[in-house]
Structure 1
Amino acid sequence: MEKQLPLLDTRIITMRWGDMDAVGHLNNTYYFRYMEQIRVEWLENAGFPIDPAGIGPVLGHTSCSYKRELTYPATLAITIEVEKVGRSSLKLRHHFYRDGEPATVYAVGEATLVWVDYQAGKTVSIPEPVRALLRASGAEA
């Protein structure tokens, strides 16, 4: 049984016909696209949009474990959970469910975001407003 992690958000994505592979399953590349989309939306809605002239996250690592096939049509609920908070990095976990069916996990993804100064190309500490948001979720003491 997986440890319960602090939940930041759950996002809904509707699978499209063209998101399937040749055998009728959600193509493996779309799991990563969906995870990216919900992270970007979460950051934007939290007031931290990606600004190439400032500081923000870059993807340091990502992975996905496929548990069951997802087939069209499907409306997916994908979580954003906090696994670990470091000085400049944030490790997230994503669970994929069919919307309305939270008992069945279809995939589990992970992503490590590293905050950088985009212009200088150097890591920076996670900004205090982001840390405050993480503290509010119970992800950071």
Structure 2
Amino acid sequence: MQYHKQYPIRWADLDPNGHMRHSAYNDYAAQLRLDFLEDAGFPLAKFAKLGIGPILFREDTRFLKEISPNETIKVGAELAGLSADGSRWRIVHTIYKADGRESAIITVDGAWLDLRQRKLATPPAELAEALSKLDRHSSYAEIERSPKAGS
């Protein structure tokens, strides 16, 4: 499934140079992930009940074109990797300027954290299935989990 949303740029998103500050790009990608999870039936309250939450291992941002004040951007998400049990994932976000040009590409590697045990967790099957329905990025590759030391 294609998943994207539009967001207006706010005053708080700007830097002293008059364009969107670097960290705001990542904030919009994070918001899109939360919006996707909620739309897939996993609002924050459900994560609290399940005792799990998403975490990031890596966040890589490539800046291509600046975004100006008062633009409305489009942020998309594509799945670039998923482990068989859904416990590890990679998502590529593309942020588009109002005129449709790519402004940034953000790649995140993440997993699920058991909030009680503070350890990595396997998500419920419905959550892994929801993630698997995102459109595949051209770089998609299954994520292989390495066995724990001593196993």
Normalised-by-shorter TM-score class: 0.7 to 0.9
What is the number of equivalent residue pairs in this alignment? 133
Out of 28, 32, 48, the residue aligned to residue 26 of structure 2 is 32
Structure 1 gap ranges (5+): 1-6
Out of 53, 75, 82, the residue aligned to residue 78 of structure 1 is 75
Counterpart CA distance in 2 for 1:21 and 1:118 is 34
C-alpha change, 1:137 and 1:111, in structure 2 (3 Å) is: closer
SS in 1 for 2:36: helix
Q: Is 1:91 matched up with 2:90?
A: yes
SS in 2 for 1:130: helix
Structure 2 gap ranges (5+): 143-151
Counterpart CA distance in 2 for 1:33 and 1:136 is 23
Q: How does 1:46-65 map to 2 (within 5 A)?
A: 46-50=40-44, 51-53=47-49, 54-65=51-62
Contact 2:55 2:112 in 1 (8 A): yes
Contact 1:60 1:111 in 2 (8 A): yes
1:13 CA displacement: 0.9
Counterpart CA distance in 2 for 1:13 and 1:56 is 24
Counterpart CA distance in 1 for 2:124 and 2:40 is 13
1:138 CA displacement: 5.6
SS in 2 for 1:106: strand
TM-score when normalising by structure 1: 0.83
Q: Determine which structure has more spread, i.e. the larger CA radius of gyration.
A: 2
